[in-house]
Amino acid sequence: MAIKSGLSWQGIGISSNPFQRDEPLSVHFQAYLEEAAQSADEHVIIIADEMQIPNYQTLHGLSYFKARKVASKKGRTRQKNLERILSSRGINNVRVLRFREIYGEQQKTIVSRIERLFDNDPEVRDAILRCVPKRLVEKAKDKKEIAQYALTEVGLILSMPGVKFGHERERVYDDTALMINKKYGIGNAPSFIYSQKGLEFLPDRNIDVEPYSSLVSEDRLLLTDSQRDFERKVGVLEGKDARKVLSQLGKDGMYKGESLSNFYGRQVRPTKRALDAPRRRVRGIAGSIAASILALVSAGAYMNRGAEAIRQNHMSQISIFGLNGDMNTCIKANKDALTNANQEIQNKYHIKDYFRS
């Protein structure tokens, strides 16, 4: 995909199940990220973690405090994994931000306006509810509460600068935002780029899912697969299903005549190593004397908590969209906060560039 704009952005969600521990990272997801990075000179990914809080409360009965804690933990994990994938692929024009880092007064104001339209305009209300899975709408006692994720998503589309990158399943949100903008003049006039990779096809279920879907399936080709597991999974694919799946992998799919072993080494192994690196460090510590293990783990945990607290403190001092709603200002403020946090961590723990900036 050729460079199409100066700035593009996309939202990437977390599991709607608060009790799901691990979320799969598919090889297709990596290809999708590579495509997104080519959509503009600079690309921003927003982790829609705290947007799940109302769903965790409404559908799973969690308290607000518990729902926010779970969403934040999942969001941190998603952010770190995405940064490891991007780094392993040499992608340096993509920034990964959390929802709290972009949700400022401009976004809150627009979402509030859309909520009022939801209450008073049947066309808007019906369009928003079409964004929500039908089974959830039918199950919900409070339609507005179950629609909160969709309301916020549409609000982001109308408040974010740049071109929105996404897949076909997001069109219902995009069309709703466009309708509201044209009818009421709310927010920015949105524009969109749709992925050529599209959704991820799962032959075992004969369905398409979002590349970043949290669906657990034994047949998904994962970035965490060993070469043996990867080749075993591909081995059970047949005919057109095999061609459909393999053509979606990698920036340009598999080369003509390329072996699975070569493809794995080129596209999967470097990312697997990056994703496994934290666990390898833990295993390295486990090989030391028991007393050293306890000391190192305790010190490391203490340092990690301290470093994260420093980072959050610097992040809390900025309002990403508080100045003028410009994404470049958002990105610069984020970089400056990380730089300042890294400097404080270096002064305190003598570790340079603790967080990737």
User: In 3D, which of 134, 133, 136, 181 has the Cα closest to residue 156?
Assistant: 181
Half-sphere exposure of 300 (CA within 13 A, CB side): 10
CATH 3.40.50.11710 in the chain: give the residue spans: 7-194
Q: What is the pLDDT of residues 32-43, one digit of tens each?
A: 999 999 999 999
> What pLDDT score was predicted for residue 277?
80
The pTM for the full model equals 0.78
> What pLDDT score was predicted for residue 203?
85
**Mean pLDDT value across the chain:** 85
Q: What is the pLDDT of residues 140-177, one digit of tens each?
A: 788 899 999 999 999 999 999 999 999 999 999 999 99
Per the rule left: phi > 0, alpha: psi between -120 and 50, beta: everything else, 22 is beta
SS3 of residue 109 by DSSP: helix
Amino acid at 233: K
CATH homologous superfamily for the domain 7-194:
Cyclodipeptide synthase (3.40.50.11710)
Q: What percent of the chain has pLDDT over 70?
A: 81
